[in-house]
Amino acid sequence: DLASDRAALVALRSAVGGRLLLWNLSDSPCRWVGVFCTQNQVIELRLPGMGLLGQLPLAIGNLTQLQTLSLRFNALSGPVPSDFANLSNLRNLYLQGNKFSGEIPGFLFGLQNLIRLNLAKNNFTGTISSDFNKLTRLGTLYLEENHLTGSIPELDLRLAQFNVSFNNLTGSIPKWVSGMDSSSFLGNTLCGKPLVSCNGTEGSGGKKLSGGAIAGIVIGAVFGFLLILLILMCLCRRKKSNKGGAGSRDVAAGKQTEIETPREKTEGGESESTSASTPGAFSGAMVKAETRGGGSKSLVFFGKGPKVFDLEDLLRASAEVLGKGTFGTAYKATLEMGVVVAVKRLKDVTVSEKEFREKMEVVGAMDHHNLVPLRAYYFSRDEKLLVYDYMPMGSLSALLHGNRGSGRTPLNWDTRSGIALGASQAIAYLHSHGPANSHGNIKSSNILLSKSYKARVSDFGLAHLASPSSTPNRIDGYRAPEVTDARKVSQKADVYSFGVLLLELLTGKAPTQALLNEEGVDLPRWVQSVVKEEWTAEVFDLELLRYQNVEEEMVQLLQLAINCTAQYPDNRPSMAEVTNQIEEICRSSSPEQDAASQQAYSIDSGAPPS
């Protein structure tokens, strides 16, 4: 019961101290940092980097319902206490980054429910026991950077993740792990696939190179680098001279406009564009608009800077369809002076001209670095055009779901959590302008990206202008259950949509794709059903799972997403609260995280976007 769980935690606190000393003992233990309960029982204890010092007492073993125990990156030493044998419900054990010593204790092999075991970066000695075979559910085994000796035993496990690098292991790599990356075995005296074969004839890693060969490689690499540098410099010069004096500055924007070659179309069925720009094609449609609309109207600009282009310039621009959305078609328009903008032609606008202009004034006045700014608009009876900054990196939807094949750069935790934070800040900013201010259409194709993968929320306010009949099904995956009229989306409904977006970031699944899955459930319900069973890896995007050390942050963000997608609006947090929580999650993953994920990248050679 909770009283005995509490006693165990207090005993732990007095033995290893650290930030556990900040626990408020007069509070329920379920409210202490790192302690997670279900039905008045502690089921998770997550204490990473809490400055815990010394030997663990016999205490944690009393937390009999514990499913996840994380003590990673502390200064815990000595043996793993024997009462861990009582943790029969334990699924995830993270002890990496401590100074635990002694052999890998035999009682761990009695924890039949273990799915993830991370003992890396400790001082464990002895051999890798064949008793690991008893852990039939094990999917992750990390033992790197210890002092383990002997050979890797023949086991009958099907592991998704395995690493024994930088131990003192010898012998040949058994077949059951020979499909792992060579980096899992480096720093030992091992041979066989994926390292060099044991008779020294084939394989990729492990061959000793002579001093001369190393010198040759270094010199070659330096020359190669210089050559690439030279080519890049030439290319830059050519590009500059091509541009000539053409204004690449969007003066209306008051800042540099990013001019890009047409980007790859990755948005599945949503884009109907060819990648070639068509000079005049865009203007054709608008000339019609201009003549039919009366001809005297012009673009209404926002922002303080001078207006570098006018309607005439826009008419002459080459246009390329970016995609068809709920409210019309989006174009990439390249103006003759070189400025690139995104133009949206709205359809089915139901509000009056006065209402439209008032709404545009509100939208145009929004100024936040995580919003795509509305630069100008045009209104006539037949045509309504909105001019935005063009975002060359496309949308989060394309980034997450496009190009899932080989050659894709994995989207790492830092990038995803950074996008979540930026988007939440923009939405919280919109909400801070009064309770009637909501976005109304939060989804991954409306989260655009800057060159440095920072989130820019677009399409703010458009939902309030469109008729409900023009709202296609595909936004349903994001829509809160209480929303019946797409023009009236509350702030709490925005929070719901944002929660779905977080789930999309964490699972890599499109909400619309989840709608079509075999069970016919939506993304929030699917995640909840998986999570209810246990906090397994199953919900997370495989690309994220490669970076083990962020799992706690991932779980925290998952919990937040689940809170945001609560069925009843009152049970959802406010957007300001959501932003604060994401900030905290990002902060807790930063310092120690950076070093660890850098390491993961260098092993995977998947360069993180800066």
Ligand X SMILES: Nc1ncnc2c1ncn2[C@@H]1O[C@H](COP(=O)(O)OP(=O)(O)OP(=O)(O)O)[C@@H](O)[C@H]1O
Residue numbers belonging to the annotated binding site for ATP: 344
Integer-rounded Cα Rg, in Å, for the chain is: 28
Binding residues: 344
- The answer to whether 554 touches 544, Cβ cutoff 8 Å, is yes
The least distance separating ligand X from the CB of residue 325, rounded to whole angstroms, comes to 2
445/94 Cα distance (integer angstroms): 36
Among 322, 339, 419, 582, binds ligand X (CB under 6 A): 322
Q: Is 391 in the site for ligand X (CB under 6 A)?
A: yes
Q: Is 320 in the site for ligand X (CB under 6 A)?
A: no
Q: Is 330 in the site for ligand X (CB under 6 A)?
A: yes
The least distance separating ligand X from the CB of residue 471, rounded to whole angstroms, comes to 8
Q: Tell me whether residue 105 or residue 328 sits nearer to ligand X (CB atom).
A: 328
Amino acid of residue 518: E
- The answer to whether 37 touches 29, Cβ cutoff 8 Å, is yes
- The answer to whether 170 touches 189, Cβ cutoff 8 Å, is yes
Q: Tell me whether residue 116 or residue 416 sits nearer to ligand X (CB atom).
A: 416
Q: Is 459 in the site for ligand X (CB under 6 A)?
A: yes
Among 303, 325, 418, 511, binds ligand X (CB under 6 A): 325
Q: Tell me whether residue 257 or residue 283 sits nearer to ligand X (CB atom).
A: 257
The least distance separating ligand X from the CB of residue 458, rounded to whole angstroms, comes to 5
Q: Is 97 in the site for ligand X (CB under 6 A)?
A: no
Q: Is 466 in the site for ligand X (CB under 6 A)?
A: no
**In the complex, residue closest to ligand X by CB:** 325
Please list the alpha-helical segments (H only) found in 250-406.
281-292, 311-316, 353-365, 396-401
Q: Is 483 in the site for ligand X (CB under 6 A)?
A: no
Site for ligand X in 338-357 (CB under 6 A): 342, 344
- Candidates 386-394, 482-490, 498-506, 601-609: pick the segment binding ligand X (CB under 6 A): 386-394
Q: Which class for 533: exposed (0-12), middle (13-18), buried (19 or more C-beta within 10 A)?
A: exposed
Among 104, 191, 286, 372, binds ligand X (CB under 6 A): 372
Q: Which class for 135: exposed (0-12), middle (13-18), buried (19 or more C-beta within 10 A)?
A: buried
Site for ligand X in 394-413 (CB under 6 A): 394-395
Show the binding pattern over residues 208-247: x = contacts ligand X (CB under 6 A), - = does not: ----------------------------------------
Sign of the dihedral through C-alpha 574, 512, 525, 33 = negative
Q: Tell me whether residue 328 or residue 410 sits nearer to ligand X (CB atom).
A: 328
How many alpha carbons lie under 13 Å from residue 490 in its C-beta half-sphere?
13
The least distance separating ligand X from the CB of residue 375, rounded to whole angstroms, comes to 10
174/149 Cα distance (integer angstroms): 15
Amino acid of residue 189: T
Site for ligand X in 252-291 (CB under 6 A): 267, 270-271
CA–centroid distance for 201 within its chain: 42
Q: Euclidean distance between the first and final Cα of the chain, in Å? A: 47
- The answer to whether 47 touches 20, Cβ cutoff 8 Å, is yes
- Using CB under 6 A as the binding criterion, the count of chain residues that bind ligand X stands at 25
Q: Which residues of 570-579 are buried (b: 16+ CB within 10 A; e: fewer)?
A: eebbebebbb
Q: Tell me whether residue 278 or residue 291 sits nearer to ligand X (CB atom).
A: 278
The three-state secondary structure class of 538 is helix
Q: Is 313 in the site for ligand X (CB under 6 A)?
A: no
53-55 and 68-70 strand pairing: unpaired
Q: At what angle do helices 413-431 and 575-589 cross, to 10 degrees?
A: 160
Among 458, 491, 548, 589, binds ligand X (CB under 6 A): 458
Q: Is 552 in the site for ligand X (CB under 6 A)?
A: no
Q: Which residues bind ligand X (CB under 6 A)?
A: 267, 270-271, 322-323, 325-327, 330, 342, 344, 372, 388-391, 394-395, 441, 445-446, 448, 458-459, 475
